[in-house]
Amino acid sequence: MKFTKHEDLEVYHLAFNAAMMIFEVSLSFPKEEKYSLTDQIRRSSRSVCANIAEAFYRRKYPKNFSSHLSDAIAEGGETIVWLEFSLKCNYLHSELNHKLRDDYANIIGKLITMSNQAEKWKL
């Protein structure tokens, strides 16, 4: 399959859907978390998507491609930490937490694979 835009990537769709799920659930977080946990978890989850897109359009340069994928991986890891805080603060029920953490583990795994195969993605 030929990829012509970042939206062609399965991993982008997985990350986007997970970020939207986080947005939806974070609407119910307490108001006092608006400028802390709510903001942080939304930003990191969205950043995964943005970095995937940026990596895709920089794939002419494998090192640059890998660098942006590395940023996406790190943001995915950060999102997992915020999910853990959300669970411990009782803002997120354990089933949804488990699902989202599994989703991000899958996303991170796919991004690592892409990064390890950066030369294959070169234009």
Structural domains of the chain, count: 1
Three-class DSSP labels, 38-107: HHHHHHHHHHHHHHHHHHHHCCCCHHHHHHHHHHHHHHHHHHHHHHHHHHHCCCCCHHHHHHHHHHHHHH
CATH number for 24: 1.20.1440.60
Residue 56 domain-assigned (yes or no): yes
Residue 81 domain-assigned (yes or no): yes
Residue 61 domain-assigned (yes or no): yes
- Predicted TM-score (pTM) of this structure: 0.95
Nearest-angstrom CA–CA distance, 105 and 80: 8
Residue 41 domain-assigned (yes or no): yes
- Over the stretch 73-122, which tens digit does the pLDDT of each residue have? 999 999 999 999 999 999 999 999 999 999 999 999 999 999 999 999 98
Kindly state the tokens that stand for 71.
């940023």
Nearest-angstrom CA–CA distance, 54 and 57: 5
Residue 4 domain-assigned (yes or no): no
Boundaries of domain holding 79: 13-121
Give residue 3's pLDDT band: very low, low, confident or very high (50, 70, 90): confident
Residue 45 domain-assigned (yes or no): yes
